[in-house]
Amino acid sequence: MSDRVEQAAAEWALRHPLDAAGEAAIEAWLAEDPVHAGALLRAMAGLSLVDQAIAPPADRVAPAHPAPHARRRFLAGAAAALAASVTGLFGWQYWRAQHVETARGEIRRLPLADGSVAMINTDSALSVTLERNIRRISLDHGQAWFQVAKDRARPFVVDAGIALVRAVGTAFSVERRDQGVEIAVTEGTVAVWAADASGAMTIIEAGQFARFHAGATAPVVGTAPAAITRALAWRSGEIALENETVSNAVGQFNRYNRQQLVIEDQDLARERLIGLFQIDKPGDFAATLATSFDAQVTITPQEIRIARKKPEQR
């Protein structure tokens, strides 16, 4: 964390109590970056300790009118120094940063030092930083599902670029793709907000999702518990289809497998089907298509091509 952020946090701490304009300004500053909240907490804790350190002994009487400007200068410097010293003192213990990437077809279960668990989907990348006052996840791309250990003193914040998520003890997934970000809650409640908004949050609960698109200040929110459960079947190595098009199903399989499915017939691509399939067995899926839609399958090491049989082949 930069010295600039720590200094700004110390200045905000010194301004308390705030008027209405100050409250709005600090909310905007907190919304700029998840690290601001942790810095402010450290600065306020630092001020408390500094106040105790400069309090007069019980057998001495404090001046009736202490010099406020001198005290503010002292507190500003002391708070920033204390925040820095806290970072140095506890950094090795609380700042456990790690970067994780998954390859095509890889699904990884990642236990975190705070007791939380991250399930990371194929072709994803994220960074984890567990600080003294905040737990931060930066999702660079892909998807992850989080089972968050309860710790009210350290909010769990996921930064997905255009959107952020905050939780304490809950379970939810975050998917970051070129077309936007989607958050789905499987347990508890989370707060979500656009990174470039003015701090306005949307609360979503178990069975709900929120979709963010670039430039939008608020997400599209919906309720679809069954669809969320099917969409997260990848956690157990499965693809769950419920009236999905063949084209959509093929797209899901191809995310996980080097041997790509290719549908040669557009009418077949528009067909719909129901079923539960193993992610790493595209051949079984192709066999189901062959049986269900009277299709022909051609297999090479790189591809599985599927097309409807010609009349002379039936």
Which region among 87-91, 131-135, 225-229 has the lowest average model confidence (pLDDT)? 87-91
Distance CA 300, CA 10 (A): 63
Q: Who contacts 120 (Cβ-Cβ below 8 Å, separation ≥6)?
A: 100, 102, 107, 108, 109, 110, 126, 142, 143, 144
The predicted pLDDT at position 105 comes to 94
Q: What is the pTM of this model?
A: 0.69
How far does Cα 197 stand from its chain's mean position?
17
To the nearest 10°, report the CA torsion of 245, 249, 254, 259: -100
Grouping H, G, I as helix, E, B as strand and the rest as coil, residue 30 is: helix
Which whole number is the average pLDDT over 26-47? 72
The mean predicted confidence, pLDDT, of the chain is 81
The predicted pLDDT at position 35 comes to 74
- pLDDT tens for 38-93 read 777 666 655 544 344 334 444 444 434 344 444 344 344 444 444 444 333 333 33
The one-letter amino acid at 240: A
Residue with the larger pLDDT of the pair 212 and 55: 212
